[in-house]
Amino acid sequence: MEVELRGITKRFGPVVANSDVNLTIRPGEILGLLGENGAGKTTLMNILSGLYRADEGEIIIDGKTVDFDGPGDAIAAGIGMVHQHFMLVPVFTVAENVVLGVEPVGALDRLDIEAARRQVTDISTQYGLEVDPNAIIEEIPVGLQQRVEIIKVLFRSADVIVFDEPTAVLTPQEVTEFFGIIRSLRDAGKALVFITHKLHEVLEVADRISVLRAGQIVGEGDPKTSTDAELAELMVGRPVRFTVEKSPRKPGETVLDVKDLHVLNERDEVAVDGVSFEVRSGEVVGIAGVQGNGQTELVEAITGLRMPIEGTIAFEGHDITRASARERHRSGMAHIPEDRQRSGIIGTFNIAENMVLDTYYDDRYSSGINLRWPDIYRSTAEIVTDFDVRTNSVFSLANHLSGGNQQKLVVARELSRDIKMMVASQPTRGVDVGSIEYIHKRIIESRDEGDGVLIVSTELDEIMGLSDRILVMFRGRIVAEFEGGKAGIQEIGLAMAGAGAAA
């Protein structure tokens, strides 16, 4: 099935998200779609999948113009989308989620769960999408949840499948598996669109590349001949530096001192199991590790969102083990949370309200209990300009920002105040190459001003590029420590897989 988007224009009030876009999606091919944050990738694909209606232009499937009046029509026409934020019912099983809305029914409209399971298993084996149909969604890792989303789309017999930043939440291992899946779908004759900010991924897996900038197609790339640098320049409109420029560190006093920390997770299992380390002023410490090895709980304990069961945390020499999140924050600790949608922003609040989410009470923004909105708006406008958060007004809702710009909003909020310590989880998740360069530069500037920085990331490149010291976390413990710039990717990778844990 061949799909052609012709002359697509989409406006949101004064914002032009797509402007006269032409794009062809062919069967048996993976189309890589690149573009800066806010370039209009998600919007374009939402139009294709019937979620939005274009203001101008048409969608042509196999030569016939179609008109989608909602996602249902697009699904019926064979177009499916795997969204960046999954839409699964957490307490249902895999099979139940897959058939939801199109359940096979037996006599008297009874749900035929056996048939559902069988159908799920059939699709799994056909495309190599291994997953247990009886598993409960909330108990399986993100990578498997994504498979369920893919099976869901296939179950509705989609011939065109759009993936919006599917790899942003996957571990490197899961990414490799995902590539296997997407290739087998291609070989089965499906037409695929793959959106990502990781250029090497498109170069590896795409057959053709299109680049969007400011709502327009600005170029095509051939994965066989293009390089990251060319693609990045095409996206951003200027050359981008991929490595972080930094001077040797000048470590000072200890800012953060964690001793023998034990933390439980939601299910009351030990997630952090006796971790000790320190972060000095003027240094970046990176924590590498496969997701789910206790990093989340460690960060929550340091930032005051989860109480440890044992051990101590000291900040600038004061014991803060039992201090509230507000107290830590007040004394100069900043926190970029790992999941911006869950806790970093409030979607139904505007950008200015989000910009002061954790500083509204201080005397820059309020007198007594009175918020000084004019000051908040002015300061937000400055920060937004500074960090190039793409929006046309500080009064826009955070929900209406593109994914990457939401992340930039969170980073801007935390980096724009006077701090002594930065705790950053996945600081550049979903952010485009140009903005990654800028965020990294600001983090290093913060270090050079004498702040302590703790980075937790599943991106090894990011950890290796930024850190002066690298700690590797495995099953709740720190199993290895490397000097930044000296360690090889191999060694760190082995430690992450637990190789050093036995020794």
Partner 1 sequence: MTVNDRIDKATGDLLKRAVVTRFEIEELVVVPIFAVLIALLLGGLTMVATGVDLPTIGLSYASLLQGSVGSLNAISETLTSAAPLTLAGLGIALGFRAGLFNIGAEGQLLIGGMAAAVVGFSLQGVPLVIHLPLALVAGMAAGALWASIAGWLRAATGAHEVISTIMLNLISFRLVDYLLRNPPIQRPGRSDPISKSILESSELPALLQWLDPNLRIHAGIILTLIVVFVVYWLLFRTTIGFEFRSAGANPDAARYGGMRSGLIIVSVMAVAGALAGLAGANQVLGVLGRASPGFSAGIGFDAIAVALLGRGHPVGVLFAGLLFGALEAGGRNMQVGAGVSIDLITIIQALIVVFIAAPMLVRTLFPFAFAKRGNQREGS
Ligand X SMILES: Nc1ncnc2c1ncn2[C@@H]1O[C@H](COP(=O)(O)OP(=O)(O)OP(=O)(O)O)[C@@H](O)[C@H]1O
- Residues that bind Mg ion in the complex, under the rule CB under 5 A: 42, 402-403
Instruction: List the one residue from 92, 179, 242, 360 that touches partner 1 (CB under 8 A).
Output: 360
Report how far residue 375's alpha carbon sits from residue 398's, in angstroms, rounded to the nearest whole number: 19
Binding mask 78-97 for partner 1 (x = CB under 8 A): -----x-x-x----------
Site residues (CB under 8 A) for partner 1, limited to 295-314: 304-305
Site for partner 1 contains 13 (CB under 8 A): yes
Q: For residue 478, what are the β-bridge partners?
A: 473
128 contact choice in partner 1, ligand X, Mg ion, none (CB below 5 to 8 Å, kind-dependent): none
Whether residue 343 contacts residue 353, with contact meaning beta carbons closer than 8 Å, is answered with no
Q: What are residue 236's phi and psi, to 5 degrees?
A: -95, -25
Q: Which residues of 476-503 are buried (b: 16+ CB within 10 A; e: fewer)?
A: bbbbbebebeebeeebbeebbebeeeee
CB of 403 to ligand X, least distance (A): 4
CB of 35 to ligand X, least distance (A): 5
CB of 193 to ligand X, least distance (A): 12
Tell me how crowded residue 411 is: count the other CB atoms within 10 A of its CB.
26
Site residues (CB under 8 A) for partner 1, limited to 203-222: none
Side-chain-side CA neighbours of residue 320 (13 Å): 26
Site for partner 1 contains 323 (CB under 8 A): no
Report how far residue 217's alpha carbon sits from residue 189's, in angstroms, rounded to the nearest whole number: 25
Tell me how crowded residue 291 is: count the other CB atoms within 10 A of its CB.
18
Site for partner 1 contains 46 (CB under 8 A): yes
Q: For residue 25, what are the β-bridge partners?
A: 3
Report how far residue 431's alpha carbon sits from residue 236's, in angstroms, rounded to the nearest whole number: 12
Q: Which is nearer to partner 1, 89 or 105 (CB)?
A: 89
Whether residue 137 contacts residue 148, with contact meaning beta carbons closer than 8 Å, is answered with yes
Which residue minimizes CB distance to ligand X? 404
298 contact choice in partner 1, ligand X, Mg ion, none (CB below 5 to 8 Å, kind-dependent): none
CB of 10 to partner 1, least distance (A): 7
Site for partner 1 contains 11 (CB under 8 A): yes
Site for partner 1 contains 370 (CB under 8 A): yes
346 contact choice in ligand X, partner 1, Mg ion, none (CB below 5 to 8 Å, kind-dependent): partner 1
* DSSP 8-state code for residue 166: G
Q: Which is nearer to ligand X, 117 or 197 (CB)?
A: 197
Exposed/middle/buried for residue 266 (C-beta within 10 Å: 0-12, 13-18, 19+) = exposed
CB of 452 to ligand X, least distance (A): 29
Report how far residue 470's alpha carbon sits from residue 484's, in angstroms, rounded to the nearest whole number: 6
Q: Which is nearer to ligand X, 76 or 214 (CB)?
A: 214
401 contact choice in partner 1, ligand X, Mg ion, none (CB below 5 to 8 Å, kind-dependent): ligand X
Q: Which is nearer to partner 1, 126 or 324 (CB)?
A: 324
Site residues (CB under 8 A) for partner 1, limited to 339-358: 342-349, 353, 357-358
Categorise residue 107: left if φ over 0, alpha if ψ from -120 to 50, beta otherwise: beta
Instruction: List the one residue from 373, 448, 483, 485 that touches partner 1 (CB under 8 A).
Output: 373
Whether residue 159 contacts residue 190, with contact meaning beta carbons closer than 8 Å, is answered with yes
Q: Which is nearer to ligand X, 29 or 388 (CB)?
A: 388
Site for partner 1 contains 395 (CB under 8 A): yes
Whether residue 291 contacts residue 281, with contact meaning beta carbons closer than 8 Å, is answered with no
Site for partner 1 contains 10 (CB under 8 A): yes
Q: Which is nearer to partner 1, 264 or 371 (CB)?
A: 371
Q: Which is nearer to ligand X, 195 or 421 (CB)?
A: 195
Q: For residue 23, what are the β-bridge partners?
A: 5
Interface residues toward ligand X, by CB under 6 A: 12, 15, 17, 35, 37-43, 390-391, 400-405
Instruction: List the one residue from 91, 324, 364, 449 that touches partner 1 (CB under 8 A).
Output: 324
Whether residue 292 contacts residue 141, with contact meaning beta carbons closer than 8 Å, is answered with yes
Report how far residue 80's alpha carbon sits from residue 159's, in angstroms, rounded to the nearest whole number: 8
Q: Which is nearer to partner 1, 10 or 469 (CB)?
A: 10
CB of 9 to partner 1, least distance (A): 10
Report how far residue 413's alpha carbon sits from residue 365's, in angstroms, rounded to the nearest whole number: 14
* DSSP 8-state code for residue 486: T
Q: Token pair 């000296």 is at which residue? A: 486
Report how far residue 381's alpha carbon sits from residue 160's, in angstroms, rounded to the nearest whole number: 41
Nearest residue to 151 (alpha-carbon basis) of 99, 199, 92: 99
Task: Give the binding site for partner 1 (CB under 8 A).
Answer: 10-11, 13-14, 46, 51-55, 70, 83, 85, 87, 304-305, 324-326, 329, 335, 337, 342-349, 353, 357-358, 360-361, 366, 369-371, 373, 377-378, 380-382, 384-385, 391-396
